[in-house]
């Protein structure tokens, strides 16, 4: 009998609030629409999120993640203050909304408050719409302290540096020395867009990954998000550092970022995990499939992630996403062993499945949801394919969305 259980997969990059704008940025606003015009729309949307809507959106999203087989999420959280940039009476109100949503849905949370200080490589001040993201280093460390007191077997707290665009060099050093020697996850967006690489070269005299590796002790605590645009030397130095790369294939496609050099990276011994990032898709199957398919389209070949000794593409992708994802999450491997996903033995696409092709059929055989049951420790969070609290969560989400969209 084929065993149809899978270890729960970590989703290592997520901005929960963006789920509520999925499908709302697909109309042309300019013939030269790009990542940067999308970002303006996203900022406008971000400006309307309250602690209450943040909670409702995150509950719906996390319930959907569990239904699709993700059992943990790294939330890269930067909507800290009220829309005009003034901290809420409780300065961690927005963070607490995410933490509560994870607790109430039962997903494992690696919470990453984001340090966001300036509007570009030249150190320009935050724009009006970016003000709610900002912190001085000292205030950020205070928030971090407060959040870390809540850590538990289902909550890990780390830090995120938004990007080299948003964190000046001296602040980066200050933060890293404040967490020196502590074992906590450190995530950063890097080298996602070509314009970002070019600006980094112009202002700092080096490419983003090159600059980071020369100016920070990047090690296994680190997750480099996207890292799309790499030279061979940068690719090798990432693998030597033991850092994980967070690949977010559906978002990277949606935003027109570029294609990550997967084969070269795997050949060099690289570690990766997957992230749903902007949440245009909430499905590990779709992320893994896009990851492989973009490679095939570029190379005009098949089965790119596989090797003669590891011929199953699904197996290679899933195993990497699991190992890299666990590392990036900051949870001990033993904690993850409690997360079990049961696939639907009655699903037609799994008929006659053999153990050695189970992951290929999971990833490459269509779009019907195959997850039947999910357990995290003793808690059953998905039963018969549905999150146990799905109805009430969806009702609150619909109400929140109506208000949000009406305000627009």
Catalytic residues: 226, 277
Q: How far is the CB of 333 from Zn ion (least distance, A)?
A: 25
Mode of pairing for the β-strands spanning 244-247 and 379-383: unpaired
Select the residue whose beta carbon is closest to Zn ion and give its number. Answer: 277
Say how far apart CA 322 and CA 274 lie, in whole Å.
Answer: 9
* Residue 286 site contact among ligand NGQ, Zn ion, none (CB < 5 to 8 Å, cut-off depends on kind): none
Largest interatomic CA distance in the chain: 61
Name the residue nearer to Zn ion (CB basis): 53 or 254.
254
Q: How far is the CB of 275 from Zn ion (least distance, A)?
A: 7
| Bridge partner list, 82 | none
Task: Give residues 263-282 in contact with Zn ion (rule: CB under 5 A).
Answer: 277
Lookup: tokens for 145: 């302290």
Name the residue nearer to ligand NGQ (CB basis): 95 or 251.
251
Q: How far is the CB of 80 from Zn ion (least distance, A)?
A: 15
- Residue ranges of alpha helices (H) inside 188-312 are 194-204, 208-215, 232-241, 249-254, 262-267, 284-299
Name the residue nearer to Zn ion (CB basis): 225 or 370.
225
Residue in 222, 221, 215, 218 with CA at minimum distance from that of residue 237: 218
- Compute how many residues bind ligand NGQ; rule: CB under 6 A: 9
Say how far apart CA 284 and CA 70 lie, in whole Å.
Answer: 7
By CB under 6 A, name the one of 251, 276, 312, 327 that touches ligand NGQ: 251
The answer to whether 64 contacts ligand NGQ (rule: CB under 6 A) is no
Name the residue nearer to ligand NGQ (CB basis): 212 or 255.
255
By CB under 6 A, name the one of 15, 80, 271, 326 that touches ligand NGQ: 15
Residue in 200, 221, 239 with CA at minimum distance from that of residue 158: 221
Task: Give residues 140-169 in contact with ligand NGQ (rule: CB under 6 A).
Answer: 163
Transcribe 302-341 into DSSP letters. Answer: S--S--SSS--HHHHHHHHHHHHHHHHH-S-HHHHTTEEE
Q: What are phi and psi of 317, to 5 degrees?
A: -65, -45
Q: How far is the CB of 277 from ligand NGQ (least distance, A)?
A: 5
CB neighbour burial string for 17-42, b if at least 16 within 10 angstroms, e if fewer: bbbbbeeebeeeeeeeeebeebeeeb
Between the CA of residue 391 and those of 59, 64, 387, 396, 397, what are the distances in Å?
11, 12, 8, 9, 10
Q: How far is the CB of 39 from ligand NGQ (least distance, A)?
A: 5
Name the residue nearer to ligand NGQ (CB basis): 69 or 275.
275
Q: Which helix (H) or strand (E) holds 387?
A: strand 386-387
Name the residue nearer to ligand NGQ (CB basis): 96 or 257.
257
Q: How far is the CB of 197 from ligand NGQ (least distance, A)?
A: 13
CB neighbours (10 Å) of residue 298?
A: 13
Pattern 179-198, ligand NGQ, x by CB under 6 A: ----------x--x------
* Residue 289 site contact among Zn ion, ligand NGQ, none (CB < 5 to 8 Å, cut-off depends on kind): none
Pattern 28-47, ligand NGQ, x by CB under 6 A: -----------x--------
Name the residue nearer to Zn ion (CB basis): 61 or 393.
61
Class of residue 289 by CB neighbours under 10 A (exposed 0-12, middle 13-18, buried 19+): buried
- The answer to whether the beta carbons of residues 283 and 325 sit under 8 Å apart is no
Pattern 256-285, ligand NGQ, x by CB under 6 A: ---------------------xx-------
Residue in 265, 193, 200 with CA at minimum distance from that of residue 229: 193
* Residue 39 site contact among Zn ion, ligand NGQ, none (CB < 5 to 8 Å, cut-off depends on kind): ligand NGQ
Name the residue nearer to ligand NGQ (CB basis): 165 or 372.
165
Say how far apart CA 151 and CA 132 lie, in whole Å.
Answer: 25
Q: How far is the CB of 187 from Zn ion (least distance, A)?
A: 9
Class of residue 265 by CB neighbours under 10 A (exposed 0-12, middle 13-18, buried 19+): buried
Q: How far is the CB of 251 from ligand NGQ (least distance, A)?
A: 6
* Residue 251 site contact among ligand NGQ, Zn ion, none (CB < 5 to 8 Å, cut-off depends on kind): ligand NGQ
Mode of pairing for the β-strands spanning 159-163 and 155-157: unpaired
Binding stretches for Zn ion (CB under 5 A)? 277
Binding stretches for ligand NGQ (CB under 6 A)? 15, 39, 163, 189, 192, 251, 255, 277-278
């Amino acid at each position: 009998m084929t065993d149809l259980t899978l270890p729960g997969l970590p989703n290592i990059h997520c901005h929960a609030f963006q789920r509520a704008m999925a499908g709302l940025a697909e109309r042309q606003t300019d013939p030269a629409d790009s990542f940067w015009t999308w970002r303006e729309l996203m900022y406008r949307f971000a400006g309307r999120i309250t602690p209450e809507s943040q909670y409702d959106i995150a509950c719906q999203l996390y319930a959907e993640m569990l239904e699709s087989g993700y059992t943990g999420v790294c939330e890269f959280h930067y909507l800290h203050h009220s829309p005009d940039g003034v901290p809420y009476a409780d300065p961690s109100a927005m963070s607490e909304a995410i933490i509560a949503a994870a607790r109430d849905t039962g997903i494992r949370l690696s919470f990453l408050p984001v340090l966001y200080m300036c509007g570009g490589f030249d150190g320009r001040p935050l724009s009006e719409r970016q003000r709610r993201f900002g912190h001085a280093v000292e205030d950020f460390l205070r928030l971090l302290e407060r959040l870390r007191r809540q850590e538990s077997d289902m909550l890990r707290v780390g830090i995120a540096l938004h990007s080299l665009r948003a964190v000046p060099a001296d602040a980066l050093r200050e933060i890293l020395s404040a967490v020196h020697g502590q074992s906590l996850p450190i995530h950063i967006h890097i080298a996602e867009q070509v314009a970002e690489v070019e600006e980094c070269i112009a202002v700092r005299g080096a490419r983003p990954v090159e600059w980071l590796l020369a100016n920070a002790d990047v090690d296994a605590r680190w997750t480099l998000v996207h890292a799309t645009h790499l030279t061979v030397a940068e690719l090798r130095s990432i693998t030597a550092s033991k850092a994980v790369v967070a690949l977010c294939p559906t978002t990277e496609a949606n935003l027109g970022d570029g294609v990550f050099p997967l084969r070269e990276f795997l050949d060099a011994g690289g570690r990766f995990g997957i992230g749903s990032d902007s949440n245009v898709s909430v499905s590990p199957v779709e992320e893994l499939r896009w990851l492989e398919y973009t490679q095939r389209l570029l190379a005009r070949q098949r089965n790119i992630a596989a090797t003669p000794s590891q011929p199953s593409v699904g197996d290679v992708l899933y195993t990497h996403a699991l190992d890299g994802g666990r590392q990036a999450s900051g949870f001990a491997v033993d904690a993850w062993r409690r997360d079990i996903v049961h696939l639907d033995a009655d699903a037609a696409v799994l008929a006659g499945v053999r153990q050695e092709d189970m992951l290929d059929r999971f990833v490459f055989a269509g779009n019907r949801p195959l997850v039947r049951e999910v357990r995290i420790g003793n808690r059953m969070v998905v039963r018969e394919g549905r999150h146990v609290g799905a109805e009430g969560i969806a009702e609150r989400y619909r109400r929140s969305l109506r208000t949000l969209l009406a305000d627009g």
